[in-house]
Amino acid sequence: MKNIISLIVLGILITSISELRAQFDGGSISGNVSIEAQSYSPDSLRGAPEVNEKLLSNAYLNLIYRNQNVEIGFRYENYQNPILGFDARLKGQGVPYRYITYRDDMFEVTGGDFYEQFGSGLILRAYQEPALGIDNAIDGFRFKVRPVEGIEFTGLIGKNRVFWSKGEGIVRGGDLNISLNDLLEDYMPKDYRFTLGGSLVSKYQPDRDVFLKMPENVLSYATRFGVIADNFAVDAEYVYKYNDPNATNKFRYNDGQGLVFKSSYFGDGYGIALNAHWIDNMDMRSDRNARAQELFLNFIPPLTKQHAYSLAALYPFATQFNNETGIQAEVTYQIPRDSWLGGHYGTILTINYSDVWSIDTTVIDEFTYKSNFLGVGQRRYFRDFNIDLSRKWSSKFKTDLTYLNIIYDRDVMENEGAPLYGKVFQNVLILDFQYMFENDHSVRTEFQHSWSVQDSAMLSPDNMNGNWAHLLVEYTIAPHWYVTVYDQYNYGNDDIDRQLHYINGSVAFLTGTTRIQLGYGSQRGGIICVGGICRAVPAANGVFMSVTSSF
Amino acid sequence: MKILKIYLALILMFAFFSCDIVEPPYKKNSSVTPVDTTKRKVLVEDFTGFRCGNCPEASHKAEQIAELYPDRVILLALHAGPLSIPTPTRKYDFRTPETREIGDYYGLIATPYGMVSRRKFNGQTLQAPSAWAGFTEETLQLEALLKINLTGSYNESSREITANLKLDYIKDSELSHYYAVYIVEDSIVQYQQDDRQFPNIHVNDYVHNHVMRGSMNGTWGLPVSNSIIKAGSSTDLQLKYTIPENKDWRPKKLSLIAIVQNNETKEVLQVEKIYLYK
């Protein structure tokens, strides 16, 4: 309890400090801060483990100083100890991220840590995702040159972050981005914007393998184009990687390749988006022995919709970087106002469909396989068909109705494809009502229900099967207070003893750019995903607190 | 445009110099490496769990390493992590307080991971199985600071294990040196998920080897001495441990692994192993 009080006091202090946005002659300082803490009481039935520390917390502070063309920044991080579900090797505190950048109109140079993305990220993406505990920032040197209008070249060299140290592999990369409209202004149509791009990334790691010959330098290249017009946008990227035997592909010597296609069309009151990709052996890490969420070098943009409602996110899709193909289509239609279906205030219908399969491969030997470019395999990883109907009935009342039908190959997502759980077939229905009172008060309720069956016998009881019901009530006193209470009830669990309620309540206070939330209750274990990258979260019982602020 | 051509030329040069294509055969000619007794022996610890489908492959990797360096590499299987926790249907618990403590200390959240003499490589102690062999070879090149002469015996009537250690220091000792003796059992037949056997991954008669059963003197051991032991000198140590009645250990399958470690860095400086029954 003493720890919790200390954290609350610290949060309030930071709130006060955040009001002091420093502006002075010598430049400006900005930044943001985040503190999350959770206390733990063991609960064997809900799967909440005993935690010796009783309280765990993750916190960070970003501070950026800017003065004319120069920017200096750092991030202090504190995991003492990391909240359950985050990699325990994050334990500790320090300043893992610091940099200095000089930039002008033509030139930019950074020394130290930086994030970067080439194209859609297929070949290189250094990024931070605090919700997952991912940070593969590159510590090194980067320059960007814009020699003429419409051309930008980026070159970099460095090593990726892994927890509190750097990976062994050295990453070298170059990217060229060309805006044809800017470069060839007189020759290009005005209604369309064309972009071209190309990237090269190479990694070096010494070969110290005793049993196998390892390529010390692994090269990959990517090329891309994009067209944007008033009513449509298309872009595509192709990536190729030379032999890269590594722990994620079980040391296969195949080359890798991938193709990503995205398109969208906007009409009067409707929009259509169609995305597809085909990915073979494209899990790139800067260390060939890295696994889990260590030392990512690239990123595959996800094909499936990321659901925010709790029961819709019970079975989230995790991108399979080494073997995956699929499509996603989405249609959004605004039913005309003042029509019988549209109502006076408007109704929006969104239909989304995604279907993800394995690619077509045939094993040749223990080191190689044959892969048919754009071929579709026999195994369906995931399918999601969902409809959302959002309607505002009056100036005070609006509703949201969502239905989902999901097929989830739990073995692929949670057991590297080995047979253990089978597939999950899930249907979810969600009703969301929001009513606004006169005096800036409003109430929102969610009624969610999930029906799910699994096509294999449960070998051992778990807390993630069967039907669920979820009721949430959120009361808001705008603009400062949010009070939320919910109950998730796994009434259909195969194991009668695990047909449990997960009751949770929280209060959030917002002021300016600061948000403070304090809650208490049981949270179910499960998997959370951001952008197709996922982590397992154990169940937790106890008090939780979150403070975020920017200044 | 001239600048653009220079960039493109640079990119092509970059591409030319930065790619190695490996042609088959992919295997190296790995052969048994001659023993150099002036160097350290290496402890390869394998964090494992009976519900971990990839762990048997990792154990196999560890065995391959041990075969490559006979009598220089000692294996220890530490059952820890989420996939070692018994379930209502699979109740056998391989874990011990020591394996859990070591796992927690190194931030183990998944298996298989392992450690090579508990050394850090590129800032990390926990290593993927594919990295073990390379780091083992590197560690085998390090000069030994001491030699461990280990003998042991078992009294069947009292269920008491006795371990005698004679530490011959080749260089001066440090006060941070701790010694620990672990009890290890081989040939335990129990369930294991083994993804190599796809689709029949549930193996009920899997043979578990090098299983850490406990420690005779705590997870991290005890100080070797209160004072510096000079190079060329020795110290004798003795430990006794009575196997509790509730343990199903089979003495004929037990062995002892003695380590001397730097208790500040936890790096294992020397290791030795003997079987209680030859």
For A414, phi then psi, to 5°, come to: -120, -5
**Which residue type is seen at A415?**
N
- Give the model's confidence band at A2: pLDDT under 50 very low, under 70 low, under 90 confident, else very high: very low
B161 to chain A, minimum CA–CA distance in Å? 32
A428 to chain B, minimum CA–CA distance in Å? 29
Q: What is the pLDDT of residue A17?
A: 46
| CA atoms lying within 13 Å on the CB side of residue A548 | 8
Tell which wins on pLDDT, B87 or B272: B272
Q: How far apart are CA A66 and CA A64, in angstroms?
A: 7
pLDDT one-digit tens code per residue, A469-484? 999 999 999 999 999 9
Pairing type for strands B177-185 and B254-262 reads antiparallel
pLDDT one-digit tens code per residue, B232-250? 999 999 999 999 999 999 9
pLDDT one-digit tens code per residue, A143-181? 999 999 999 999 999 999 999 999 999 999 999 999 999
Q: What is the pLDDT of residue A13?
A: 45
Interface residue of B2, B6, B14, B95 to substitute, partner A, most A CBs within 10 Å = B14
For A436, phi then psi, to 5°, come to: -105, 125
| CA atoms lying within 13 Å on the CB side of residue A510 | 10
Q: Which residues of A touch B138 (CB under 8 A)?
A: 208
Q: What is the pLDDT of residue A458?
A: 59
Q: What is the pLDDT of residue A86?
A: 94
Read off the pTM: 0.92
| Interchain CB distance below 8 Å, B124 and A162 | yes
- Averaged pLDDT, A33-43: 96
Tell which wins on pLDDT, B29 or A236: A236
| Interchain CB distance below 8 Å, B122 and A221 | no
Question: Which two structure tokens, joined as six digits, stand for B217?
Answer: 């003197």
In a domain, A49, yes or no: no
Q: What is the pLDDT of residue B17?
A: 60
pLDDT one-digit tens code per residue, A363-386? 999 999 999 999 999 999 999 999
Across the A/B interface, how many CB contacts are shorter than 8 Å?
145
Q: Is A459 on the interface with B (CB under 8 A)?
A: yes
| Interchain CB distance below 8 Å, A151 and B20 | no
Percent of chain A with pLDDT over 70: 95
- Averaged pLDDT, B164-172: 97
C-alpha pair distances (Å), B80 with each of B143, B254, B255: 31, 20, 20
Q: What is the pLDDT of residue A84?
A: 94
- Give the model's confidence band at A12: pLDDT under 50 very low, under 70 low, under 90 confident, else very high: very low
Q: What is the pLDDT of residue B14?
A: 64
Total structural domains within chain A: 1
B130 to chain A, minimum CA–CA distance in Å? 6
Q: Walk me through the domains of chain B, giving residue ranges and CATH numbers.
A: 36-275 (2.60.40.10)
Question: Which two structure tokens, joined as six digits, stand for A434?
Answer: 């929001």
Residue A315 scores a pLDDT above 80: yes
Cα nearest neighbour of A204 on chain B: B18
SS3 B138: helix
Residue B5 scores a pLDDT above 80: no
Tell which wins on pLDDT, A136 or B36: A136
Cα nearest neighbour of B54 on chain A: A416
Answer positive or negative: Cα dihedral of A473, A477, A483, A484: positive
Q: What is the span of the domain harbouring residue A244? A: 104-301
In a domain, A52, yes or no: no
| Interchain CB distance below 8 Å, B122 and A168 | yes
Dihedral angle at the C-alpha atoms of B50, B52, B55, B57, nearest 10 degrees? 110
In a domain, A260, yes or no: yes
Q: Which residues of B touch A253 (CB under 8 A)?
A: 22, 24, 26
- The whole-chain average pLDDT of chain A stands at 93
In a domain, A353, yes or no: no
In a domain, A164, yes or no: yes
pLDDT one-digit tens code per residue, A189-229? 989 999 999 999 999 999 999 999 999 999 999 999 999 99
Question: Which two structure tokens, joined as six digits, stand for A135?
Answer: 């940070």
In a domain, A403, yes or no: no
Say which CATH number the domain at A219 has. 2.40.160
Q: Which helix (H) or strand (E) holds B165?
A: strand B160-169
Q: How far apart are CA A288 and CA B185, in angstroms?
A: 33
Q: What is the pLDDT of residue A20?
A: 45
Residue A14 scores a pLDDT above 50: no
In a domain, A11, yes or no: no
In a domain, A73, yes or no: no
- Averaged pLDDT, B129-153: 96
Q: Is A164 on the interface with B (CB under 8 A)?
A: yes
B92 to chain A, minimum CA–CA distance in Å? 14
For residue B25, say if its preceding peptide bond is cis, omega within 30 degrees of 0.
yes
